[in-house]
Amino acid sequence: MKILLIMVTLLAAIVSEDSLAVDTYKFSKPQYEARFHALNKILRCPKCQNQNLADSNSMISQDLRKEVFRMMEEGRSDAQIVEFMVMRYGDFVLYKPKVDNVTYFLWYGPIGFGVFGFALLFIVVMRQRGKKSNQTVVKGSDELSAQEQQALDNILKNNK
């Protein structure tokens, strides 16, 4: 049984290796290759949505990789290539969203929540401390003053 399992796994590995038609590119300059891979990592595959160009083997990713390669060989800059993609596929194609009006909340929301939470915590703690110090003052004298006794009587009366 175990051997069968291993065989199946190996076979699956071979098949998937085969079906992953790895496209090979010949770069005219060695630094292009590094840039090519870096770009493929930050560009999202529009079809598969949760993979970048480097990970995805869908048709559209193959096309887009080819396009990245072509533009790079034409000597275009990274910014120009990214702009080309955004022109066609929108900001969605960027894995790291731009900071603009629409994405402010996305970028700074978590920080805002954190600040808000800590502020709330701070206020609560400070209040609690204030109460405690009041209590110690009360503890100092066991007897109620006349005024306090009066207030207590009022409360009890009202509760009835």
Partner 1 sequence: MKRFVLFLPLIFFIGLGIFLYKGLFLNPKAMPSALEGHPVPAFKLLTVTKGDRVVTKADLIGDYYLLNVWATWCAACKAEHPYLLDIASSGVSIYGVNYRDELAAAQDWLTRYQDPYQFSAFDVDGKFGLNLGVYGAPETYLVDHLGIIRLRYAGVVDTRSWKSDFLPLITQIKAEIAASKSL
Which residues contribute to the site for partner 1 (CB under 8 A)?
45-47, 49, 59-60, 63-64, 67, 86-90, 92
Residue whose CB is less far from partner 1, 128 or 141: 128
CA–CA separation, 154 and 118 (whole Å): 39
Residue whose CB is less far from partner 1, 33 or 67: 67
Q: How far is the CB of 96 from partner 1 (least distance, A)?
A: 17
Residue whose CB is less far from partner 1, 32 or 89: 89
Residue whose CB is less far from partner 1, 42 or 60: 60
Residue whose CB is less far from partner 1, 11 or 115: 115
Q: How far is the CB of 98 from partner 1 (least distance, A)?
A: 13
The 3-class secondary structure across the chain, one letter per residue, is CHHHHHHHHHHHHHHHHHHCCCCCCCCCCHHHHHHHHHHHHHEECCCCCCCECCCCCCHHHHHHHHHHHHHHHCCCCHHHHHHHHHHHHCHHHECCCCCCCCCHHHHHHHHHHHHHHHHHHHHHHHHHHHHHHHHHHHHHCCCCCHHHHHHHHHHHHHHC
CA–CA separation, 111 and 98 (whole Å): 17
Q: How far is the CB of 92 from partner 1 (least distance, A)?
A: 5
Q: How far is the CB of 147 from partner 1 (least distance, A)?
A: 25
Q: How far is the CB of 39 from partner 1 (least distance, A)?
A: 16
